[in-house]
């Protein structure tokens, strides 16, 4: 190991492990978008810089946010090193928020009926689907900003433990809103597998990824509840 790598502070966000996380999640999203749209669907390469990169960016954003809530719960790779685990969780949350913000800007730059005919009516205005999907997306981005801002070092002390934890849990609300955002935009395509050309749409892959931490959280809550009920029943005298 070189001297410069060894001297990195332990809690530095950018380090070899987080770089690997970025490479894997963004790499998978980018390869999926390129293969599905350029190779399978024959979208011209002139649309790579914004239209296709937007698909990869939005898919990776969901992957990072989901990972932030799964590391230490479903993904147990960093359990031997709590400091590194916290750094990776923080990195995934912030990368997810940053990529979601980039996706929002990319989408607004592209927003016209020639790119997204399904979101516009014959009068050239946004349709109900277009308005609803965008509104939910904007609120999801706001909800993601809450846990991102509270990762700043002074925040746990400024907010206190309970409020800080509540803000961190806003990510679950954001993921639920993302599920709605994707369902509004994608449902029609999901129900028409003949149009997939063998590869499910990015919105369907992303919604399945977003559902993993949400279902994991629900099963943990219901597990805790049933344990509490069991304990109360055992403690209650006959
Ligand atoms: C200001 C906020 C947002 C705006 C304006 C926005 C806009 C859009 C638009 C226009 C699409 C359709 C793209 C397409 O079909 O190519 C889309 C799809 C998508 N959005 Fe958002 N979005 C926002 C927030 C978010 C957030 C916070 C996430 C996740 C963290 C997200 C994840 C996705 C994903 C995964 C897709 C599916 C892409 C696809 O099917 O190709 N969006 N969004």
Nearest-CA residue for ligand 1 atom 9 is 107
pLDDT greater at residue 20 or residue 163:
20
Q: What is the pLDDT of residues 61-104, one digit of tens each?
A: 999 999 999 998 888 888 888 999 999 999 999 999 999 999 99
Residue 132, C-beta contacts closer than 8 angstroms, at least 6 positions apart: 184
Query: What span, in angstroms and rounded, lies between the C-alpha atoms of 189 and 96?
Result: 25
Residue whose C-alpha is closest to residue 174's, from 92, 91, 62: 62
pLDDT value at residue 237:
67
Per-residue pLDDT of 183-238, as tens digits, reads: 999 999 999 999 999 999 999 999 999 999 999 999 999 888 888 888 888 877 66
Q: Is 150 in the pocket of ligand 1 (CB under 6 A)?
A: no
Ligand 1: does its nearest atom lie under 6 Å from the Cβ of 85? no
pTM of the model: 0.92
Residue with tokens 């990169």: 53
Query: Under a CB-based contact definition with an 8 Å cutoff, are residues 72 and 37 in contact?
Result: no
Q: Is 72 left (phi over 0), alpha (psi -120 to 50) or beta?
A: left
> Atom 22 (ligand 1): residue with closest C-alpha?
137
Tokens of 93: 């949350």
Please say whether the beta carbons of 43 and 52 come within 8 A. Answer: yes
CA–chain centroid gap for 235, Å, is: 42
> What is the rounded CA–CA span in Å between residue 88 and residue 191?
36
Query: What distance in angstroms lies between residue 137's CA and the mean position of ligand 1's atoms?
Result: 7
Q: What span, in angstroms and rounded, lies between the C-alpha atoms of 202 and 52?
A: 11
The pLDDT value given to residue 1 = 47
CA distance 37 to 68: 28
How many other CB atoms sit within 10 Å of the CB of residue 156? 16
Q: Where are the domains of the chain?
A: 9-226
For ligand 1, atom 34, name the residue with the nearest CA: 58
Q: Whose CA is closest to atom 33 on ligand 1? A: 58
pLDDT in tens, 36-61: 999 999 999 999 999 999 999 999 99
Cα angle 204, 68, 73 (rounded to 5 degrees) comes to: 100
In DSSP terms, which residues pair with 126 in a beta bridge?
120
- pLDDT tens per residue across span 134-169: 999 999 999 999 999 988 888 888 888 888 888 888
203 CA distance to ligand 1 centroid (A)? 8
Instruction: Measure the CA dihedral 201/111/106/33, to 10°.
Output: 20
33 lines ligand 1 (CB under 6 A): no
φ, ψ for residue 32, nearest 5 deg: -60, -45
């Amino acid at each position: 190991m070189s001297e410069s790598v060894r001297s990195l502070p332990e809690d530095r966000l950018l380090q070899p492990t987080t770089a690997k996380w970025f490479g894997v999640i963004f790499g998978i999203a980018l390869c999926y978008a390129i293969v599905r749209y350029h190779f399978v669907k024959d979208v011209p390469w002139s649309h790579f810089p914004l239209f296709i990169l937007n698909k990869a960016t939005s898919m990776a954003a969901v992957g990072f946010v989901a990972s932030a809530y799964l590391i230490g719960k479903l993904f147990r790779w960093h359990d031997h090193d709590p400091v590194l685990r916290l750094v990776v969780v923080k990195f995934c949350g912030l990368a997810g928020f940053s990529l979601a913000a980039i996706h929002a800007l990319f989408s607004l730059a592209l927003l016209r009926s020639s790119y997204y005919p399904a979101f516009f009516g014959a009068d050239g205005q946004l349709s109900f689907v277009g308005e609803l999907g965008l509104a939910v997306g904007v609120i999801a981005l706001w909800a993601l900003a809450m846990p991102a801002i509270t990762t700043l070092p002074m925040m746990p002390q400024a907010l206190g433990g309970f409020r800080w934890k509540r803000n961190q849990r806003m990510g679950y609300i954001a993921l639920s809103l993302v599920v709605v955002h994707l369902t509004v935009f994608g449902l029609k395509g999901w129900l028409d597998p003949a149009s997939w050309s063998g590869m499910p749409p990015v919105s369907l892959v992303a919604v399945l990824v977003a559902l993993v931490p949400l279902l994991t959280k629900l099963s943990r809550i219901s597990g805790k509840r049933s344990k509490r009920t069991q304990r109360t029943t055992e403690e209650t005298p006959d």
